[in-house]
Homo-oligomer: A and B are copies of this chain.
Amino acid sequence: MKALKISEAVVRRLPVYLQVLNDLRKRDVQTVSSQELGNKLDLNPAQIRKDLAYFGDFGRKGIGYDVSYLIEKIRQILKLDQPLFVALVGAGNLGRALSNYSTYLKDNMKITAIFDAHPSIVGTQINSLTVLPIEALKATVAELNIRVGIITVPAAEAQNVADRFVEAGIEGILNFAPTILRVPDEIRIHHADFTTELLSLAYYLDKEGDELNEPSMD
């Protein structure tokens, strides 16, 4: 078994597995089968086994997967077994909200710098971090060993921020602005654009074309 190309779909499921596994561990569950995971996630058990098998033999035949061990392994695969420092640009409401989110702290991701272009915001405090001027981005990224950038500025400014991130040598960007960004191929971009989710949700409403009441006939 050699370095096989892992599809994006597989990688995207790993954090979801991690989420459920963390939950199981919190409830002191020792072992879980692909069947049980599949039930919880509405996924085919074979798919879960296959996903995990790309990375190693983590389970035990007849038993299932040890929850803590699998958590450890998935964290290794996602390279979350070592600290990963993150910068955020755009200290508006959304930026502040993300800074407060502690969810990924336990996953070794840490926002260590926040930037904004507006003089009125620069210098304010967010969670013990002082908002820095955007001009300080490049130097700070190098100094603090920051590898990921989060963009929470308005769409019109997002490309400019992306350019600055690239110039600063960032390796990956999480973009919240509802716009497409142009970056070199070697930079990884993920979109966290909830407007897309919200608009596509609208498509699925009112399936049968009936009124506001749901059809309760079988």
Contacts and interface: CB of A to CB of B under 8 A. Distances in A.
Contact of A217 (B1, B186, B199): B1
B198 A109 contact: yes
A107 to B, nearest CB: 6
A38 interface: no
B97 A93 contact: yes
A205 B57 contact: no
List the 6 closest A-B pairs by CB distance, nearest first: A93-B97, A15-B199, A94-B97, A192-B194, A188-B204, A190-B197
Contacts of A200: 11-12, 14-15, 78, 190
A100 interface: yes
B214 A171 contact: yes
B92 A202 contact: no
Interface stretch (A114-122, A128-136, A173-181): A173-181
A71 interface: no
A169 interface: yes
A82 to B, nearest CB: 10
A98 interface: yes
23 contacts: A1-B218, A2-B214, A3-B210, A11-B204, A12-B196, A15-B196, A55-B212, A78-B200, A79-B206, A80-B199, A86-B198, A93-B97, A93-B100, A101-B195, A104-B199, A107-B199, A148-B198, A148-B202, A171-B205, A171-B206, A186-B214, A188-B201, A192-B198
Contacts of A201: 148, 172, 174, 188, 190
A41 interface: yes
A202 B16 contact: no
B79 A203 contact: yes
A205 B56 contact: no
A22 B99 CA distance: 31
Contacts of A112: none
B203 A77 contact: yes
A157 B172 CA distance: 31
